[in-house]
Amino acid sequence: MPKIYDAVVVGSGAAGGMAATEMCLKGLKVLLLEAGPGLNIATDFHHHDKPYAFRFRGRIRPREQAKYNYVVNEWNRPSFVNEMEMPYTGKKFVWVRARAVGGKTLHWGLVSLRFSRRDFQAARYDGYGENWPLTYEDVAPYYTRVERMIGVCGNADHLENNPDSHFLKPVPFTCPEWIFKSTVEKRLPARHVIHGRSATVTEPGFNGRAPCHYCGHCGRVCNVAASFSSAGVLLPLALQTGNLTLRTNAIAWKVLTGPDGKARSVLFVDRATRQAEEAYGKVVVLGASSLESTRLLLNSKNEQYPNGLANSSGVLGHYFCEQIMAGSIMGVVPQLRGNKNRGGDARPDGTGIYIPRFRNLGEKHRDFIRGYGFEGGGGSAEFPGFARKIPGFGSRFKEEVKKNYAAVISIGSFGEVLPRYENYVEIDPEVKDAWGIPVLKFNVEWGPNELAMAKDMVETQQEMFKAAGIEVMSERTEPLPPGWSIHEQGTARMGNDPKKSVLNRFNQAHDVPNLFVVDGSASVNATEKNPTLTILALSMRAADYVAEETRRGTFG
Quick one: which of 325, 219, 266, 290 has its CA closest to 31? 266
Rounded Cα distance between 176 and 332, Å, is 8
- List, in sequence order, every residue forming a beta bridge with 372; answer none if it has no partner: 415
pTM: 0.97
Hey, is 90 helix, strand or coil? strand
Rounded Cα distance between 476 and 250, Å, is 40
Sign of torsion over alpha carbons 130, 135, 138, 143: positive
Give long-range contacts, CB 8 A cutoff, 24+ apart: 371-374.
Answer: 371/415, 371/416, 371/453, 371/528, 372/323, 372/326, 372/413, 372/414, 372/415, 372/416, 372/453, 372/456, 372/457, 372/528, 373/413, 373/414, 373/528, 373/529, 374/411, 374/412, 374/413, 374/414, 374/461
Write out pLDDT tens, residues 414-462.
999 999 999 999 999 999 999 999 999 999 999 999 999 999 999 999 9
In 80-89, which positions are buried (b, 16+ CB within 10 angstroms) versus exposed (e)?
A: bbbbeebebe
**Cα distance from N-terminal residue to C-terminal residue, the chain:** 17
Q: Strands, E, within 87-196: which ranges?
A: 89-90, 152-153, 167-168, 194-195
CA distances for 518 relative to 9, 125, 209, 231, angstroms? 10, 26, 26, 18
Rounded Cα distance between 441 and 91, Å, is 8
208 torsion bin: left (phi>0), alpha (psi -120 to 50), beta (else)? left
Burial group, residue 49, by CB count within 10 angstroms (0-12, 13-18, 19+): middle
Rounded Cα distance between 474 and 492, Å, is 39
Rounded Cα distance between 181 and 527, Å, is 24
For residue 110, the one-letter residue type is L
Q: Strands, E, within 219-315: which ranges?
A: 244-247, 250-257, 263-270, 276-286
Rounded Cα distance between 459 and 452, Å, is 11
For residue 375, the one-letter residue type is E
For residue 183, the one-letter residue type is T
Helices (H) and strands (E) in the chain, counts: 10, 19
Which residues fall within 8 angstroms of residue 33, CB to CB, at 6 or more apart? 8, 9, 10, 11, 247, 250, 252, 266, 268, 279
Rounded Cα distance between 553 and 555, Å, is 6
Rounded Cα distance between 471 and 327, Å, is 17
Which residues fall within 8 angstroms of residue 186, CB to CB, at 6 or more apart? none
The full DSSP string for 245-259 is EEE-SEEEEEEEE-T
Tell me if 539 sits within 8 A of 22, measured CB to CB: yes
Which residues fall within 8 angstroms of residue 325, CB to CB, at 6 or more apart? 412, 413, 414, 415, 479, 480, 484, 485
Tell me if 349 sits within 8 A of 504, measured CB to CB: no
Q: Element (H or E) spanning 124, and its range?
A: helix 122-126
Please report, in tens digits, the pLDDT of each residue of the chain (556 residues total). 899 999 999 999 999 999 999 999 999 999 999 999 999 998 888 888 888 888 888 888 888 888 998 998 898 888 999 999 999 999 999 999 999 999 999 999 999 999 999 999 999 999 999 999 999 999 999 999 999 999 999 999 999 999 999 999 999 999 999 999 999 999 999 999 999 999 999 999 999 999 999 988 898 899 899 999 999 999 999 999 999 999 999 999 999 999 999 999 999 999 999 999 999 999 999 999 999 999 999 999 999 999 999 999 999 999 999 999 999 999 999 999 988 776 666 889 999 999 999 999 999 999 999 999 999 999 888 788 888 888 889 999 988 888 888 999 999 999 999 999 999 999 999 999 999 999 999 999 999 999 999 999 999 999 999 999 999 999 999 999 999 999 999 999 999 999 999 999 999 999 999 999 999 999 999 999 999 999 999 999 999 999 999 999 999 8
| Stated length of the chain | 556
57 torsion bin: left (phi>0), alpha (psi -120 to 50), beta (else)? left
Rounded Cα distance between 133 and 524, Å, is 9
